[in-house]
A and B are shown apart, each in its own frame.
Chain A
Amino acid sequence: MNDIVDPRSLDRPNSYIGRSVPRPNIRKLVEGAARYVDDVILPRMLHAAFVRSPHPHARIVRIDVSAALSIPGVVKAFTGADLAPHCEPWVAVLAHLKGMKSAPQRPLPLDVATWAGEAIVAVVAETRALAEDAAARVVVDYEPLPAVTDMETALDPATPVIHADLGDNLVFERTNESGDVEAAFRTAHKVVSATFHTGRHTGVTLEPRSILADFNRATGQLVVHHSTQAPHMIRDVLARHLRLPEADVRVICGDVGGSYGIKVHVYPDEMAVAVIAKLMGRPVKFIADRLESFSSDIHARDHRIEGRLAVDAAGRILAFDIDDLTGIGPYSVYPRTSAVEGNQVVNLIGGPYDFAHYRARTTVVLQNKTPTCQYRAVGHPIATAVTEGLVDLAAEALGMDPLDFRLKNLMADGSYPRTSPAGMKFEGLSHVESLEALRKMIDYPALRADQVAARARGIHRGIGFASFIELTNPSPFMYGIGGARISAQDGCTVRIDPDGTVLAATGVTEQGQGTEAIIAQIVAEAVGVPMSSVRVVTGDTLATPYGGGTWACRGAGIGGEAALRAGRATKEAALVVAGSMLQAAPDTLDIVMGNIVDRAGGAVRMPLSELGRIVYFRGDTLPAELPRELMQTRHFITTQFPFAFTNGIQASWLEVDIDTGMVNLLKHWCVEDCGRVINPMLVDEQVRGGVVQGIGGALYEHCVYSPDGHLLMGSMADYLTPMAAEMPDIEVGHVETPTRESALGAKGAGEAGTAGAPAAIMNAINDALRPLGARVFAQPFTPARILAALGRIPTETA
């Protein structure tokens, strides 16, 4: 078996794993030379614009496109009925989420609009501006229907049923239970409880959703330039639903301007574009505008959670009891489904702690609002906020310091492998070591002293903590076993070219995390060449091994391991040839910095380019039977654990202005254990970006709806996102507990920041407000909500 990666090899030449090297592909970004979908222009390309429903729920009575088509340059308009015969509808359920149901969805609906913002009619024209002019002239007569908006009443008999065929508005329900929760609460020393809300929010990728579909009738090939995280998955979906052989669909994913889970889903308007391209035999481009992004990109995290926690007199956690309710819009989103977020919540609550009794129920219901689905850190920020909010309440009830209470209850570092009361299998975590590392980083006594001194001056500062776990490197247990055609395996092909440079084609994709950089680092080290000799190919289903793409923090752990194995296999193959050329046993040779060297002593025998020259151009000089396989492919899939869990802890230090309700962030820290760190700088930046995304959900971001189901925000002026002036500096620390499932030992790092930040912010605000007897549990923690909690304004105005 392959040796595990040894970070002590850092001091060797061409050892790149563990080094903070800059990303080789970043230069184009700073020179404005990247190529996003909207930068691609094809001959005879048309532009699509959509007429979207202004109603949350309405029957489509009549559609008249004649005025739209009268504009010169407007080519065609399509309704749901026009596209339906050419596209199989989809139903987003997973078999392992027992009892889950959802209604069939089509590119454009046939007769009922189910959310404000749903695409109803598509218009294609020679320019985007003309397409928009035409869309404005399409007449749609609607008969408004009562809208289901409040998830609390979605299952009431008096509430209309959105899809009559489903019988009710229930999508999924699950109770995850172990131990004896009732008894634990009966005998508890103290019980704390709270009702938490996480505000519905969304990803706001700066580059909106973008697709350019091009169907060539002569070849029968559909080529799709797509801003996506999962090219092979999208190819599979397009092939099956447009009834094309998979081999005739090519998905090209160039530069992607942010994704965070938003661009891993099947969107009906994008499917419409692909169908239209196929029908017209011409390239069709669609780039969502910002209003369309807000009303049709998936939303997430619309949850209400009732939580209770029981502790004994010694300060040990006995039990969690959780009731989660979430509204997901009118359809479960294809193919990952919209039940996974709630399912994650009931799997992850209590995750860092050692206790015995657990009950968590999730209820997933339909509403006439934008569909929700997986967004960065899926379910984790919710589960962590509930867990850590209750933990702080318990510490307070016991009169204990929040860090001491955590230390007493965290799973001990030496206690793995183990299974949590929620049924999660942990291979190896480092909660205690991480907490101690954080305690040092923040200088806890100094912060507490500052807090006391500030209070004396009437300034309210708070410090909040959040221990967390994060699920990474998913196996087929996440989607595959439920019937979704989503690959948990990934592959890498490594090829040595005649001049000694190395190509690596990988199934994982780049959206800015640095995927191509870490693949280059791993391959350079595995083959034995300088990193500058490696070129990485991603994001083209015609050019890369089949794989799942980049989501759920699998790029480094899964894609990286495949790259390591492919690189090592390529080196081995090269040494076979080198052995023959040099009349030496292959295992006495090595490749270092692009040269074949003696393993003992390191004397350079010949450059890799000489080997390349001989193999490709003078193969006649080698023994006939000698294998000369300078291109190797390896795949990797995890088999021992369903997921590789990571862990960490965050701290937030902030100030609450009790007159304005404004929160001023002073500093943020995160200690993270994502296993083997391939590029510390890139991991730190993933953590920082993730933390700020978590802060956004905690303090600012909210998709606000009117009671009758209209989205009340439509621009970035009224949907607030974190901007530089309000964000704190963020310090990142590491503990490394590599997974033993792979030689590389890497787990994911992209979601930890988002998983823990909202909880840390909430706890810090409540720490600041504690002497004033106020608490907040409903995100986002807006000034109005904080003032209401302080009793300074009436609750209803918040």
Chain B
Amino acid sequence: MSTSVDVTLSVNGERVARRVEARRHLVDFLRLDLGLTGTHTGCEHGVCGACTVRVDGVIVRGCLVLAASLDGATVETIEGLTESGEIADLQTAFVERNAAQCGFCTPAMLLTAADLLSAAARDGAVPSREAIREHIAGNYCRCTGYHAIVDAIETVATARAGKGRS
């Protein structure tokens, strides 16, 4: 139905080369071509945030990015961040605080939270609850009501800041 494009990119540190349909978005590419099912789609309209992944170090909505545009890019997903241990403390905080219920929003929520936490670390500040809420305001979660998620992120931000000082 549509033309195909050859792309070579890095996904979670692995080099992958694929021929993709021009219309295939990044989430379908990750899920269907690479079997990385940790990234979800909830709307495919760019609204719910469930598809959040990292491209070249920046969080993006995977449903709004075409795989064909990613030749040479570096993509990181929940699987990669888990493997590298980069967000291990955040994941543990989500577990201990029950900041995930059905879990469908969770991988994307973690990527969004990690983005805030690294920005906070750069500024050497602990974000307020309002700032945390503002930062995750593009990630829909129907289950938790957000309070536990804010708690978990706040815990990690505080702990990381404490470590930074010591």
Q: Which residues of A contact B (CB under 8 A)?
A: 22-23, 26-36, 38-39, 71, 129-130, 133, 203-208, 255-260, 289-290, 511-514, 681-682, 685, 688-693, 715-717, 721-727, 729-730, 753
Evaluate contact between B144 and A255: CB separation under 8 angstroms: no
Q: Which residues of A contact B37 (CB under 8 A)?
A: 32, 35-36, 38-39
Inter-chain contacts of A290 with B (CB < 8 A): 42-45, 48
Residues of B within 8 A of A722 (CB): 145-146
Does B50 sit within 8 A of A, measured CB to CB? yes
Sorted nearest first, the 10 A-B pairs with minimum C-beta distance are A32-B38, A29-B103, A257-B104, A512-B101, A512-B102, A692-B145, A32-B78, A725-B137, A688-B145, A716-B47
Given contacts A129-B23, A257-B102, A725-B134, contact A289 B142 (CB under 8 A): no
Nearest B residue to A24 via CB reads B95
With a cutoff of 8 Å between Cβ atoms, the chain A residues found around residue B141 in the complex are 206, 724
Let me know if B65 is at the binding interface, CB within 8 A. no
B3 CB, nearest partner CB in chain A, Å: 14
Q: How far apart sit A709 and B145, CA to CA, in the bound complex (Å)?
A: 32
A573–B103 Cα gap in the complex (Å)? 37
Find the residue from B45, B103, B149 having the highest chain A CB count within 10 A: B103
Whose C-beta in chain B lies nearest to the C-beta of A730? B147
Give per-residue flags for B67-104: 1 if the beta carbon is below 8 A from chain A beta carbons, else 0. Answer: 00000000001110010000000010011111011111
Residue pairs across A and B with Cβ atoms less than 8 A apart, 20 shown, are A26-B95, A26-B103, A28-B103, A31-B82, A32-B39, A32-B79, A34-B103, A39-B31, A129-B1, A129-B23, A207-B42, A255-B102, A685-B101, A689-B142, A689-B145, A693-B142, A693-B145, A716-B45, A722-B145, A725-B133
Which stretch from B54-62, B105-113, B118-126, B155-163 is at the chain A interface?
B105-113
Chain A nearest CB, measured from B94 CB (Å): 5
Instruction: Supply 8 further A-B pairs (C-beta < 8 A) apart from A23-B95, A36-B37.
Output: A23-B98, A26-B98, A32-B36, A39-B31, A206-B40, A685-B145, A723-B146, A727-B147
Name the CB-closest residue of B to A255.
B103
Q: Is B148 an interface residue (CB 8 A)?
A: yes
* With A26-B103, A681-B98, A729-B129: A689-B45 Cβ-Cβ less than 8 Å: no
Taking a contact as CB atoms under 8 Å apart, the answer to whether B137 and A724 are in contact is yes
Q: Give the chain B neighbours of A690 by CB distance below 8 A.
A: 145
CA distance A725 to B107 in the complex (A): 19
A57, B101: Cα distance in complex, Å:
39
The binding surface of chain B is classed by DSSP as loop
* Contact, CB under 8 Å: A727 / B146: yes
**Contact present for B142 and A730 (CB under 8 Å):** no
- Of A36, A721, A724, A727, which one neighbours B142 at CB under 8 angstroms? A721
Please measure, in the bound complex, the distance between the C-alpha atom of A727 and the C-alpha atom of B143, giving whole angstroms: 13
Distance in Å from the Cβ of A210 to the closest Cβ of chain B? 11
Q: Is the CB of B98 within 8 A of A30?
A: no
Which among B45, B98, B139 has the highest number of chain A CB atoms within 10 Å? B98
Which of B44, B48, B98 is A514 in contact with, Cβ under 8 Å? B98
A725 to chain B, nearest CB (A): 4
A753 to B39, CA, bound (A): 30
Query: Contact partner of A685 among B95, B103, B144, CB < 8 A?
Result: B144
Roughly how many angstroms separate A35 CA and B50 CA in the complex, as a whole number?
15
Contacts A129-B1, A204-B142; is A26 near B100 (CB within 8 Å)? yes
In the complex, chain B residues whose CB is within 8 Å of the CB of A207:
40, 42, 102, 104
Q: Which among B44, B105, B138, B143 is the interface contact of A289 at CB below 8 angstroms?
A: B44
Complex CA–CA separation, A693 to B141 (angstroms): 10
B133 contact from A22, A208, A688, A724, Cβ within 8 A? A724
Within the complex, the shortest CB–CB distance from B99 to chain A, in Å, comes to 8
Q: Are A727 and B39 in contact (CB under 8 A)?
A: no
Q: A729 CB to closest chain B CB, in angstroms?
A: 6
Counting CB contacts under 8 A, is B26 at the interface? no
CB contacts (< 8 Å) of B101 on chain A: these are 258, 511-514, 685, 689
CA distance A206 to B104 in the complex (A): 7
Query: When chains A and B are docked, how far (Å) is the Cα of A676 from the Cα of B136?
Result: 34
Distance between Cα atoms of A128 and B107 in the complex (Å): 24
In contact, A716 and B43 (Cβ under 8 angstroms): yes
- Residue of chain A at shortest CB distance from B47: A716
User: Which residues on the A side are within 8 Å of B23 (C-beta)?
Assistant: 129
User: Inside 8 A of A208's CB, which chain B residues have their CB?
Assistant: 42
Residue pair B149, A724 in contact (C-beta under 8 Å)? yes
- Choice from B44, B105, B147 contacting A688 with Cβ under 8 Å: B147
CB-based contact A30/B133 at 8 Å: no
Which residue of B is nearest A31, CB measured? B82
With a CB–CB cut-off of 8 A, which chain A residues contact B11?
none
Question: Considering the chains assembled together, what is the distance between the CA atoms of A682 and B101 in angstroms?
Answer: 9
Instruction: Find out whether the CB atom of A512 lies under 8 angstroms from the CB atom of B42.
Output: no
A36: contacting residue among B43, B94, B104, CB under 8 A: B104
Query: Is there contact, CB below 8 Å, between A685 and B150?
Result: no
Interface contact B102-A717, CB-CB below 8 Å: no
- The residue of chain A having its C-beta at the shortest distance from the C-beta of B136 within the complex is A724
Residue of A nearest to B46 (CB): A717
> Are A206 and B145 in contact (CB-based, < 8 A)?
no
Residues of A within 8 A of B94 (CB): 26, 30
B103 and A257 contact, CB distance less than 8 A: yes
Cβ of A29: which chain B residues have Cβ within 8 Å of it? 100, 102-103, 106
Given A32-B79, A290-B42, A725-B137, residue A130 in contact with residue B142 (CB < 8 A): no
Residue of B nearest to A36 (CB): B104
- Give Cα A218 to B12, complex, Å: 42
Assess whether A691 is in contact with B145, with CB atoms less than 8 Å apart. yes
Taken together as a complex, chains A and B put the C-alpha atoms of A681 and B99 apart, in Å, by 10
**Complex CA distance for A715 and B138, rounded to whole angstroms:** 14
Option from A23, A71, A256, A258 in Cβ contact (under 8 Å) with B1: A71
A258 to B129 alpha-carbon distance, docked (Å)? 25
Q: Which residues of B contact A203 (CB under 8 A)?
A: 142
A543 to B96, CA, bound (A): 29
List residues of chain A with CB within 8 A of the CB of B45: 290, 715-717
B96 contacts A22, C-beta separation under 8 Å: yes
A727: chain B residues at CB < 8 Å are: 133, 145-147
In angstroms, Cα B148 to Cα A727, docked, is 12
Task: Tell me the smallest distance from the CB of B52 to a CB of chain A, in Å.
Answer: 12
A33 to B39 alpha-carbon distance, docked (Å): 10
- Nearest CB in chain B: distance from A19 CB, A: 13
Q: Which chain B residue lies CB-closest to A714?
A: B45
Distance (whole angstroms) from the CB of A130 to the closest CB of chain B: 7
CB of A688 within 8 A of CB of B148, answer yes
- Do B40 and A257 touch across chains, with their CB atoms under 8 A apart? yes
For the complex formed, measure the closest distance between the CB of A34 and the CB atoms of chain B, giving whole angstroms.
Answer: 5
Q: How far is B140's CA from A205's CA once the two chains are assembled, in angstroms?
A: 10
Contacts of A753 in B (CB 8 A): 145
Q: Tell me which residues across on chain B come within 8 A of A514, comparing CB atoms.
A: 98, 101
Chain B residues whose C-beta falls within 8 Å of the C-beta of A685 in the assembled complex: 98, 101, 144-145, 148
The answer to whether A30 and B134 touch (CB under 8 A), given A207-B40, A716-B43, is no
Chain A residues, CB < 8 A from B139 = 723-724
CA distance in complex: A396, B97 (Å): 41
Chain A residues with Cβ under 8 A from B140's Cβ?
Answer: 204, 206, 716, 721, 723
Q: Across the interface, do B143 and A512 meet the contact criterion of CB distance under 8 Å?
A: yes
| B145 shortest CB reach to chain A, Å | 3
The residues of B that contact A28 with a CB separation of less than 8 Å are 103
Residues of A within 8 A of B43 (CB): 290, 715-716
User: In the docked arrangement, what's the CA distance between A691 and B47, Å?
Assistant: 22
* The residue from A27, A682, A729 contacting B147, defined by CB atoms under 8 A apart: A729
Residue contact A33 to B98, C-beta cutoff 8 Å: no
Residue of B21, B50, B104, B110 ringed by the most chain A CB atoms within 10 A: B104
Residues of A within 8 A of B105 (CB): 206
Closest to A71 in B: B1
